[in-house]
Amino acid sequence: MELDGCAVIIPALDEEASLPLVLADLERLGLLGSTIVVDNGSRDATARIAREGGAHVAEEPRRGYGAACLRGLEALPLIPRTVDIVVFMDADHSDDASLIPDLVRPVRAGLADLVIGSRASGNAAPGSLKVHQRIGNAAMCVLIRLLFEHRYTDLGPFRAVRLDALERLGMRDRSFGWTVEMQVKAVLKGLRILEIPVPYRARVGVSKISGTLIGSTKAAIKIGWTVAWLRLRSLTPSRESS
Least confident of 11-15, 88-92, 229-233: 229-233
The pLDDT value given to residue 136: 86
For the chain, the domain total comes to 1
Flag whether 1 is in a domain: no
The pLDDT value given to residue 240: 45
Residue 202 DSSP code: P
CATH code of residue 77: 3.90.550.10
Torsion of CA 115, 29, 53, 85, to 10 degrees: -30
Contact status, residue 29 vs residue 95, Cβ threshold 8 Å: no
Instruction: Tell me what the mean pLDDT of segment 148-168 comes to.
Output: 97
- pLDDT above 50 for 40: yes
Flag whether 65 is in a domain: yes
Flag whether 242 is in a domain: no
Average of per-residue pLDDT values in the chain = 92
Contact status, residue 78 vs residue 37, Cβ threshold 8 Å: no
- pLDDT above 50 for 235: yes
Q: What percentage of the chain has pLDDT greater than the value 70?
A: 93
Rounded Cα gap, residues 90 and 73, in angstroms: 15
The pLDDT value given to residue 186: 98
CA angle 118, 58, 48 (to 5 degrees): 100
Among 143, 130, 137, 140, CA closest to 210: 130
- pLDDT above 80 for 237: no
Structural domain including 189 reads 6-237
The pLDDT value given to residue 208: 58
The pLDDT value given to residue 210: 53
| Confidence at 114, pLDDT banded by 50, 70, 90 | very high
The pLDDT value given to residue 242: 45
| pLDDT tens per residue across span 60-89 | 999 999 999 999 999 999 999 999 999 999
Among 155, 146, 165, CA closest to 73: 165
Flag whether 77 is in a domain: yes
Instruction: Tell me what the mean pLDDT of segment 119-135 comes to.
Output: 86
Flag whether 49 is in a domain: yes
| pLDDT tens per residue across span 168-219 | 999 999 998 999 999 999 999 999 999 999 999 988 866 655 555 566 777 8
Distances (CA, A) of 191 to 112, 129, 152, 166, 213: 8, 28, 14, 9, 34
The pLDDT value given to residue 112: 98
Rounded Cα gap, residues 132 and 120, in angstroms: 13
